[in-house]
Structure 1
């Protein structure tokens, strides 16, 4: 279903890291009133220069907002933002909506939805994918699961944020399940891309040339190209920390096992990210897998 972006109304974004900041700048550039909250004051100040209103506490940002977008990292942070001492659920009015964008387990998403519903609040299960540049330009993917009435009410906002809104189902948690399937594919592809370039290095091949061949041949993957181009240049500044795919592959394998499925590659990818993080690369870009896999070459 094609939905046009809607007229602007106040939106809060809690967690303005790479993706949250991209969404905030997207909305601000189109004239939407945006409240932001983050533990990092510098990130909020940067967005204030584009017109955002900055708040120290999640509850402050949510009071006058129609929709609160939660874009933090994990379930523990989401718990604090929603239900902590200064959580948004304590001050939001009956009928307001929370859009939950982190990569979480389906069980956590379902639990958050039940608790919000008991307080009269609606929830959109809306994990995102695509990176900060695509968030900024509104071309990222959103995997949306929620009641039809909630979706229709906020379809315009979702269309403003993303030209790739995938309506997954009405069952909250299915957005999370879809995101984990996608992220496990990304993790498997990235491990493969790093492994073959480490292999090329061990064979004495020029990595840039090898990468160009892969990108025009059957071995190409988007995440492999995105990460390996930087890794070949020795650029490991974190656009996506190693720990994120460590978390996401772990959650994906757990979700698969809960569904009674076990494949040959997911567990291996999870183990690779965990080992690379434990080796001291946790704070680096996940493209640093190339460095880790090349350590004996």
Structure 2
């Protein structure tokens, strides 16, 4: 029989991860609050579940790819949650960006039910998720890794094992998000200055992407700005949340993060101006006195 695995959340990353598992030969069961997302995957050979509880009856490994801790709580412990129906020894793989302390506590809560847990945030974007080339930052007990088998490698090109208990996966992810958020904010600031000074935006992009000032985020996100396309692959509000988690973690140990704090305020400003659901490159819209490419 084909080994069954469940994927909850068919957004930009989860959809690609489910596809990678299916290509690797797993029987992939899916759930999402959007029926159209589920049906699109079913058309490619997946199996629909009406709820996380139904998935728990069918799969001993469930991969959760949701926005935040609140959504994860709901799919585990809500009225139709998976936790109550998961068989002892089953594994829950949590891929969201969350407070590391929350992840530690979740491992303990699931252990009380006889369930295994992997703290396994992800990075790389939708394209790398779709091709199985993303990165996973994982931490958990040896039994959890054993239960996962080859599933992690089916979803990711790089699977980092960062500890034998939950927590370090989420800590490394929020440090990654500190850099990602600061780099996007800095890229937007640089492009905005170029526009303000009358530099040709396409020429600026060409020069920077071939010079020492380049970053992956500049190259990727400023291409969205040049196209005038703010369709959200990762939204402004994601960085409001993630940089907030970064600052909360540092505040607990009274550790200063001046650049992260400034970037967080920029994303907050963009969100407050109505751009929260746009692509995170829309943080450039906080700068005054510039005309963006594609603006009407």
TM-score for both structures, normalised by structure 1 = 0.95
- Once the two structures are overlaid, the 10-residue window that deviates more, 181-190 or 214-223, is 214-223
Q: Is the counterpart of residue 234 in structure 1 residue 228 in structure 2?
A: yes
Partner of 2:137: 143
SS at match of 2:136: strand
Q: Is the counterpart of residue 167 in structure 1 residue 156 in structure 2?
A: no
CA distance in 2, matches of 1:62, 1:274: 38
Partner of 2:109: 115
The alpha carbon displacement at 1:56 in A equals: 2.3
SS at match of 2:13: helix
Partner of 1:205: 199
SS at match of 1:169: coil
CA distance in 2, matches of 1:165, 1:30: 16
Q: How many residues align?
A: 290
Residues 204-248 of structure 1: per-residue CA shift (max 9 Å, x gap): 001111111111111111122111101111011111111111100
**Structure 1 vs Structure 2 CA RMSD:** 1.3
The alpha carbon displacement at 1:296 in A equals: 2.1
Partner of 2:289: 296
CA distance in 2, matches of 1:205, 1:103: 37
Residues 43-66 of structure 1: per-residue CA shift (max 9 Å, x gap): 111101111111221111221212
The alpha carbon displacement at 1:99 in A equals: 0.1
* Contact persistence 2:56–2:82 (CA under 8 A): yes
Q: Is the counterpart of residue 191 in structure 1 residue 185 in structure 2?
A: yes
SS at match of 2:6: strand
Unaligned segments of structure 1, at least 5 residues: 1-6
* Contact persistence 1:28–1:50 (CA under 8 A): no
Unaligned segments of structure 2, at least 5 residues: 291-296
CA distance in 2, matches of 1:250, 1:76: 15
* Contact persistence 1:228–1:290 (CA under 8 A): no
The alpha carbon displacement at 1:8 in A equals: 5.6
Residue correspondence of structure 1 range 9-158 to structure 2 within 5 A: 9-158=3-152
C-alpha change, 1:213 and 1:8, in structure 2 (3 Å) is farther
CA distance in 2, matches of 1:152, 1:77: 26
Moved over 4 A (4+): none
Partner of 1:3: none
